[in-house]
Chains A and B, each alone.
Chain A
Amino acid sequence: MKLPKLPAPPWKRAAAPAPDTLLLAEYAGPDGLLAAADRVRRAGWADWDAHSPFPVHGMERAMGLAPSRVPWYVLVLGLGGAAGGMLLQWWVSAEAYPLVVSGKPYFSWPAFVPIMFECGVLGGALGAVAGFLAESRLPRHHHPLFDSARFERASDDRFFLSLGAAGREEGDRALRLLEETGPARIERLGPDGVAEVPAGTAGRRPPAARETDEPPARRDVPPEDAP
């Protein structure tokens, strides 16, 4: 008998054509990033991300992020740790080395609660870290974004949006979408290296119009870098 063919597991499924180009738009402040992210989400773009030196609040709404699954890791590993702690103490005190101490039963569970609690906290903490790393797909020491020298400022004072695109046509659509959001600068990271996209390539608005999108007089923009 032939079994019906199961769908391939997620890691074997043929993904959409792998993006070969990254478009990196740079914004001076969190407001510009937030508005741009909202626009990109509503355009329905699939492969994109925002980058900032600190968590910008409201981005989860602007990006439409689903609730994080990290709490489930904490719950499962925390309860597992607590159960493991109690199990260890039961096995040691009642099975491996039964010894009467101050007339208590071998499995005198109230005395085992502190260690059970500590083991549960340990499991939960490991779960929080493991969940954070697993859900974020970290560690990942190499990423195409690191090719951009400007991107180093994502951990300092600048705000970025990156759109992945496969092929020339999709790349142009991504560029148009990004230009609508009025970034300070756009870079194209592709197989040919990193290059700045000059303003107006895809009907980009003139700089004077763009500046109105930015909040007025921010001190986080060093004057020489102002758009």
Chain B
Amino acid sequence: MSRAAADIDPVVGRPALVAGEPGFHGVTEAVARPVEWKPPAGWYVAFAISLGMLGMLGVSVAWLFWEGVGIWGNNLPVAWGWPIVNFVFWVGIGHAGTLISAVLFLFRQKWRTSINRAAEAMTLFAVACALTFPTIHTGRPWLDYWMLPVPNQMSMWPQFRSPLMWDVFAVSIYGLVSLLFWYVGLIPDLATMRDRAKTRVRQVAYGLFALGWRGSQRHWWHYEKAYLLLAGLATPLVLSVHSVVSFDFAVSQLPGWHTTIFPPYFVAGAIFSGLAMVITLMVVCRVAFGLTHIITLLHFDRMAKLILLTGTIVGYAYGIEFFIAWFSGNPFEQFAFLNRALGPYAWAYWIMVSCNVISPQVFWLKRARTSIPVLFVVSILVNVGMWFERFVIVVTSLHRDFMPSSWGYFSPTFWDVATLVGSFGLFFTLFCLFVRFLPMVAMSEVKGVLPEAKSHGLPPDQTPEKPERAPAPRPGFAPEPEPTS
């Protein structure tokens, strides 16, 4: 770990979360600069490449709507091919933002403040990519209202006992709640951008969304309560969303899908892949936008520990699936899993295992957790591995079902690949716009964890009486008694 990241916070006696003691104004300057100045040349390159990939998505989707799903490799027995693989992959990535924002907030992990904004934005964009696939996967998007409980000319209504319906609600509500959470967190920072704006356009644009925020303590009081409650609501939500996604598979009767371990296994995998994506993006952004003192090696060290934890849970799930297949005595289950590891898709299975289970084990070493090249490579490997996990689950379970006469082998077509690449284009385009136009670090939260932000309490001559209307301190959370000397 670098010397700067090992600074000790003089108030709490723990490693400082922000290196180099920038002060309140220094944090504002560092975070606002990329938004207010011309972006580095690399931004234009990244944006151009992303737009090009987004164009591929446009062309693929247009061709899909014109021609139909026949342009894809999906066919019996693998009727659920790449669109579902990509959907689950993107929803999974979309889980880390809420984990970092909500779960770590509830656990009072203050290091989240440097990365939560970017992780939440990443969540939103990943959910947007994920929602693309159910929207287009029939090739007939004008029939999407069939999924919604709206009165229609057919006098038909959705079937709420199906996990696919649960999915419609879970993912769309997750997207909406993530947006609210992200926006509420943005309001104070939008006010900062408004107050610093040099042009009328910027002032109005940021001012409109800042809602007239003026940093009032009376507002902060409600704001903090609302933020805490949003975190409390988002935490069970994030656990439920990927559980519901796993029900799409687990509730069916297919060997390889019909497993009770799926909900926790999917949730752990989702957080695993999302953290990897956060690392991939942050490794680049912190250097490109000069935020190395705010997003320090300490943050990567802790994210790497979470990757190690969730990656090991995923590895455990891979193992227990095999154990249960053997222990159940069900020959179809046993075949499904032997076929996974040794059958025609064994290459995909072993890519998955080596990327997801073996590669994160380097994070047992502190030197690996704080080495930017190692972090970057492992985070990419984890993303590849997690995409293959979904591919293995979907395709290997379907391609050889109960009747050998109906076995087949799925291969993607050009348009399958183009749609996947295009969805990355959508993701990176949105992320490029985000870092260009919005503060990518939650300034108000980072200022709140600086050592100078911690109030030393009232001077002794001013504290004797207790405020009449103040809320009674809860047991265990009472403020430190004033020194009597």
Contacts and interface: CB of A to CB of B under 8 A. Distances in A.
Q: Do A and B come from one complex?
A: yes
Interface of A: 29-31, 34-35, 37-39, 41-42, 49-68, 70-71, 74, 78, 85, 88-89, 92-93, 96-97, 99, 101-102, 104, 108, 111-112, 114-115, 117-119, 121-122, 124-126, 128-129, 131-133, 135-136, 138-143, 145-146, 151-157, 160, 213, 215, 218-220, 222
Contact of B216 (A50, A142, A213): A50
A58 B181 CA distance: 24
Given A121-B233, A124-B229, A89 B457 contact: no
A169 B233 CA distance: 49
B240 A132 contact: no
13 contacts: A51-B214, A65-B471, A68-B222, A97-B155, A112-B160, A114-B244, A115-B169, A125-B180, A126-B180, A129-B230, A156-B25, A156-B28, A219-B452
Given A58-B457, A136-B216, A129 B180 contact: yes
Interface in B461-485: 462-463, 465, 467-471, 479
Contacts of A126: 180
A141 B211 contact: yes
B441 to A, nearest CB: 13
Contacts of B149: 88, 92
B277 to A, nearest CB: 24
A53 B24 contact: yes
Given A220-B23, A220-B452, A125 B214 contact: no
Nearest to A138: B211
Contact of B165 (A115, A141, A142, A145): A115
A53 B32 CA distance: 14
Interface residues of B, number: 80
Query: How would you classify the secondary structure of chain B's contact residues: helix, strand, loop or mixed?
Result: helix
Nearest to B471: A67
Given A31-B456, A64-B470, A115-B169, 12 more contacts: A30-B453, A52-B215, A53-B28, A53-B215, A55-B224, A62-B467, A97-B156, A102-B161, A118-B237, A129-B226, A155-B188, A220-B23
A138 B216 CA distance: 11
A62 B176 contact: no
Nearest to A50: B217
Contacts of B254: none
Main secondary structure, interface of A, reads: helix
Nearest to B442: A54
A220 B194 CA distance: 21
Contacts of B170: 114, 118
A74 B455 contact: no
Given A60-B471, A121-B233, A122-B173, A155 B191 contact: yes
B455 A58 contact: yes
B23 A70 contact: no
B376 interface: no
Contact of A121 (B158, B177, B220, B462): B177
A85 B220 CA distance: 32
B462 A39 contact: yes
Contact of B230 (A62, A101, A128): A128
A222 B159 CA distance: 63
- For the complex of A and B, 9 pairs with smallest distance between CB atoms: A157-B24, A132-B226, A139-B211, A152-B195, A55-B220, A97-B157, A54-B448, A50-B217, A157-B25
B230 A125 contact: yes
Nearest to A114: B166
A146 B214 contact: yes
